[in-house]
Chain A
Amino acid sequence: GESVGLHLPTLSVQEGDNSIINCAYSNSASDYFIWYKQESGKGPQFIIDIRSNMDKRQGQRVTVLLNKTVKHLSLQIAATQPGDSAVYFCADYTSGTYKYIFGTGTRLKVLA
């Protein structure tokens, strides 16, 4: 069945280092992908998105890479800060189904 999975449940990085969070999806028809950040006690917050006709998109300190060949999505956070500590979710969307499928989340811990 359809699934969006995350390779690592917890990722610990040193403050100032770059973080890479990975995500695999299984539906080759997915055409829209989003990364969300969820801090404790809050709802998920939109970080960055990418359409399937792109393979890279950059935001402020974040970059999303999409590899449709292997159905892989990654979120790169540059110069990770303590405020980046949170759970990060990827989600994929398939036009026509009107349905988002979310991964289980990766917890990012930033070490001082």
Chain B
Amino acid sequence: KAGVTQTPRYLIKTRGQQVTLSCSPISGHRSVSWYQQTPGQGLQFLFEYFSETQRNKGNFPGRFSGRQFSNSRSEMNVSTLELGDSALYLCASSLFLGETQYFGPGTRLLVL
């Protein structure tokens, strides 16, 4: 079974731009979570989607948003990029809420 896939793997943007990241979960998984990982920091929870509905949200500003499609694929968007948004953005999928999460390789975003 294919793992979680994320596209693109690398992105370079400038301040003020917006970016959309994509995540395809493991086949059959219905829950998708997003995390931000920065050097020296742990994984910071962004949000989780299940059945196209946001079920939980972390402490990030409204510039960070996401959505989930009927096929469980998910996208996250960051608007008005700031230098501090440079990070590895990880997507994780699970069968249902509260089940073991399996991570993708991440999208490394660099904001200049």
Seen from chain A, the residues whose Cβ lies within 8 Å of a Cβ on chain B are 4, 32, 34, 36, 41-46, 49, 89, 91, 93, 95, 97-105
Contacts and interface: CB of A to CB of B under 8 A. Distances in A.
Given A89-B43, A93-B98, A99-B45, A43 B33 contact: no
A17 B57 CA distance: 41
Contacts, number: 53
Given A42-B105, A43-B4, A43-B105, A95 B98 contact: yes
A24 B88 CA distance: 25
Contacts of A98: 48, 55-56, 97-98
- Which among A41, A49, A97 has the highest number of chain B CB atoms within 10 Å? A41
Nearest to A105: B42
Interface in B48-87: 48, 55-56, 58
Interface of B: 4, 33, 35, 40-43, 45, 48, 55-56, 58, 90, 92, 97-98, 100-106
A91 B35 CA distance: 13
Contact of B106 (A43, A93, A95, A101): A43
A96 to B, nearest CB: 9
Q: Which 7 A-B pairs rank lowest in CB-CB distance, beginning with the nearest? A: A43-B103, A102-B43, A104-B42, A102-B42, A44-B103, A98-B56, A43-B105
A101 B35 CA distance: 11
Contacts of A34: 100-101
A98 B58 CA distance: 11
Given A43-B4, A43-B90, A43-B106, A100 B42 contact: no
A93 B31 CA distance: 15
Contacts of B56: 97-99
A45 B102 CA distance: 7
A102 B58 CA distance: 13
B97 to A, nearest CB: 5
A44 B43 contact: yes
B100 A49 contact: yes
